[in-house]
Amino acid sequence: MNYREIVSDAPMVDYFILGDGEAPMLRIIHSYGNRTIQNDENIAAMHDIEDKKENVEQDINRKASFDYYTQDTAEANMQKTHCMMTKSNVCTGACTFCCSRKGRVVYKDPERIVEEIAYLATTFGVKKFFICDDDLFDIDGDENRERLMVLFEKIEQLNFNLAFSGFAKPKAICNPQNYEVLQKMNKIGFHHLFLGIDAGNEWDRKLYNKRATLEEGKRALQLLDDIGISPRYGMIFFNPYSTLDSLRQSYQYLIELHSTNYYHYGGLRV
């Protein structure tokens, strides 16, 4: 969003990639040595900032790079967490504080996803996987539920005893139609899901345009607890319109969530 200002503030950096980095980064690598990256619509530089736009990667089934693991031991790789996505890098939410890309959601082939998981687990000893989709349930409908069940069934068939984590929205967790999917997630090794609770009072909830109600936020955490998936969540405690009253309400809401993590209350360093 602010690449012009960032470019002018960092003269020591050669290139800035706008959007998804896979294809633009390859173009930079291929031009290494002759410094011919000019007039590339996805790459900005100190003297090349006009007519730029965000790159939206089309090849979502691109093969991952495993250099990060080849140079380490299996014991070290077991401590690492491999990040991956099951769809294109877009969000269907509409939170006012977020600049995540909008657009058409395209899903990766479940077979390719499972092949990558199996390869990492058997070749490098990787045990932990973070599904970094902005929301695993995304478009909360039958088609997506069926896709997730197919994916999780294939992971279960590996029988590799792996650990998974990811993101979800509270409203999707509260949807009874997703209960079976959540049970399957618990069965294959999802140890936690991170929820964007974000608002602790009604004023902030409307300001942030959060779709889930405050009650749904509390219910989502309880449902995950009951299923056996540990809930983690984010809270935006301060905003430019915060008042002492809104801060008190947010604090009280965190108490109702049974939060015992100081990070959720403040974490300010002085």
Contact predicate 16/6, CB 8 Å: yes
Domain check: are 54 and 96 in the same one? Answer: no
pLDDT in tens, 137-174: 876 678 899 999 999 999 999 999 999 999 999 999 99
3-class secondary structure, 196: strand
Structural domains of the chain, count: 2
Domain check: are 99 and 223 in the same one? Answer: yes
Q: Which domain holds residue 185?
A: 72-265
pLDDT in tens, 213-234: 999 999 999 999 999 999 999 9
**Nearest by Cα to 82 from 13, 166, 22, 147:** 166
- Predicted TM-score (pTM) of this structure: 0.82
Distance (Å, rounded) from C-alpha 190 to C-alpha 101? Answer: 26
Q: How far apart are the first and last CA of the chain?
A: 30
Work out the average pLDDT over 57-70: 82
pLDDT in tens, 70-113: 999 999 999 999 999 998 888 888 889 887 777 778 889 999 99
Domain check: are 137 and 248 in the same one? Answer: yes
122 lies in a domain?
yes
Contact predicate 39/48, CB 8 Å: yes
CATH number of the domain to which 157 belongs: 3.20.20.70
Work out the average pLDDT over 16-40: 84
Domain check: are 76 and 39 in the same one? Answer: no
Domain check: are 145 and 238 in the same one? Answer: yes
What's the confidence (pLDDT) of residue 19?
Answer: 87
Contact predicate 127/121, CB 8 Å: yes
147 lies in a domain?
yes
Q: Which of 38, 59, 80 is the last residue of a domain?
A: 59
Mean pLDDT for all residues in the chain: 89
pLDDT higher than 80, residue 53 = yes
Domain check: are 141 and 53 in the same one? Answer: no
270 lies in a domain?
no
What's the confidence (pLDDT) of residue 114?
Answer: 97
H helix or E strand, kind and range, residue 124:
helix 110-124
Work out the average pLDDT over 255-260: 85
3-class secondary structure, 231: strand
66 lies in a domain?
no
Domain check: are 54 and 148 in the same one? Answer: no
pLDDT higher than 60, residue 267 = no
Confidence of residue 69 (pLDDT cuts 50, 70, 90): very high
Domain check: are 23 and 88 in the same one? Answer: no
Confidence of residue 118 (pLDDT cuts 50, 70, 90): very high
143 lies in a domain?
yes
- Measured in whole angstroms, the distance separating CA 173 from the mean position of its chain's CA atoms is 16
What's the confidence (pLDDT) of residue 65?
Answer: 79
